[in-house]
């Protein structure tokens, strides 16, 4: 039987954009917001901070983001049982392509280039599972969607939520038990 396919997002799922966004916020606004202050939204959606988002268009922004804790180990495990594709909405950011490509080669060298997708609209993607922090991507997805917790999606209740990579591991362990008729 062909392996089932997982579509895995990058930003705020395996790559942590928050520290660099907070730095950019602080540089521009002169103060650093706490997690409580941007709960329910993106950091640059705080009042007067729209310009902070421009940092996403600068060369190098996506090149040195920290890896989300545990993501490397769990992704490697998942690749034993699933066909895994990185699906990232890079297309808005011309300068992100090479940075994202290099970041993946450095931090996830075991993911083949054939399994990387830079796109805009994720409706085009065909997979069995999608792990993403954006509700809009899960809303139009035909398979099972996992909502990876991020500040901007805290109020969302329609999708199975994963708070960290340990939660992702647990979810797929459950799926495996169901599939193999275990317990």
Toward its own copies, which CB reaches closer, 31 or 113? 113
Task: Report the 10 Å Cβ neighbour count for 31.
Answer: 8
* 101 binding its own copies? (CB under 8 A): yes
Q: How far apart are CA 153 and CA 135, in angstroms?
A: 7
- In the bound complex, what is the minimum distance in angstroms from residue 19's beta carbon to its own copies? 25
How would DSSP label each residue in 61-107?
Answer: TTTSPPBPTTHHHHHHHHHHHSEEEEEE--TT-TTHHHHHHHHHHHH
**Any catalytic annotation for residue 64?**
no
**Any catalytic annotation for residue 9?**
yes
Contact positions with its own copies (CB under 8 A) in 124-183: 124-127, 142
Toward its own copies, which CB reaches closer, 6 or 24? 6
Contact positions with its own copies (CB under 8 A) in 81-100: 85, 87, 90-92, 94-95, 97-98
The DSSP code for 11 is: B
Q: How far apart are CA 17 and CA 19, in angstroms?
A: 6
* 56 binding its own copies? (CB under 8 A): no
User: Which chain residues interact with its own copies by CB under 8 A?
Assistant: 5, 7, 85, 87, 90-92, 94-95, 97-98, 101-102, 112-121, 123-127, 142
């Amino acid at each position: 039987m062909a392996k089932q396919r997982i579509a895995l997002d990058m930003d705020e799922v395996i790559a942590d954009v928050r520290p660099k966004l907070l730095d950019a916020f602080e540089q521009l606004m002169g103060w650093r917001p706490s997690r409580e202050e941007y709960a329910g939204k993106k950091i640059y959606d705080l009042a007067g901070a729209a310009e902070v988002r421009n940092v996403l268009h600068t060369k190098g922004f996506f090149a040195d983001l920290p890896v989300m804790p545990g993501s490397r180990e769990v992704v490697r495990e998942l690749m034993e049982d699933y066909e895994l594709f990185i699906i990232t909405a890079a297309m808005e950011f011309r300068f992100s392509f090479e940075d994202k490509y290099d970041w993946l080669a450095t931090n996830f060298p075991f993911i083949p280039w054939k399994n990387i997708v830079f796109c805009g609209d994720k409706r085009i993607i065909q997979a069995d599972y999608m792990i993403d922090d954006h509700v809009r991507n899960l809303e139009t997805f035909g398979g099972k969607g996992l909502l990876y917790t991020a500040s901007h999606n805290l109020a969302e209740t329609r999708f199975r939520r994963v708070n960290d990579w340990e939660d992702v591991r647990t979810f797929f362990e459950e799926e495996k038990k169901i599939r193999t008729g275990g317990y």
